[in-house]
Amino acid sequence: MEDIFSRIWEDLIGRGSGPLSFRLIMQPLVAATFGILDGVKDARRGRPAYFWTLFTDPAQRRALLTDGWKSIAKIFILAIVLDAVYQAIVFHWFYPVEALIVAIFLAIVPYLLLRGPINRLLRQR
């Protein structure tokens, strides 16, 4: 099991200098842009912070997840596809867990980190 985690870690670190490394900058920027735009929409509509509400309000959780997924789905899928291309070039194999990890960090994390704070900043104005 330790060998698997070691391989995954080394493979993830190696993506920074391999082919298609531009995606490590572009995909988070696109996801962040969507997070900012959705945060602005939330502020205009008077909605509470996105990520916080996911955990504190079970009644709104499903609607919020659906709304967030609609915004980020294409970027998430693109991240998986580009990582699959990267893996085909470098490893000549496909590791789906690694692709999911990369897609989560390139698409979902930047979106979540910006949507709520942008909403709060704009609502304070």
Predicted confidence (pLDDT) per residue in 16-39, tens digit: 787 888 888 999 999 999 999 999
CB 8 within 8 A of CB 97: yes
Q: Which of 56, 32, 52 is nearest to 108 (CA)?
A: 32
pLDDT at 1 over 80: no
pLDDT of amino acid 34: 94
Backbone angles phi, psi at 38, to 5 degrees: -70, -35
CA 65 to chain centre: 13
Are 51 and 115 in contact by the 8 Å Cβ rule? The answer is: yes
- The structure's pTM equals 0.83
CB 120 within 8 A of CB 49: yes
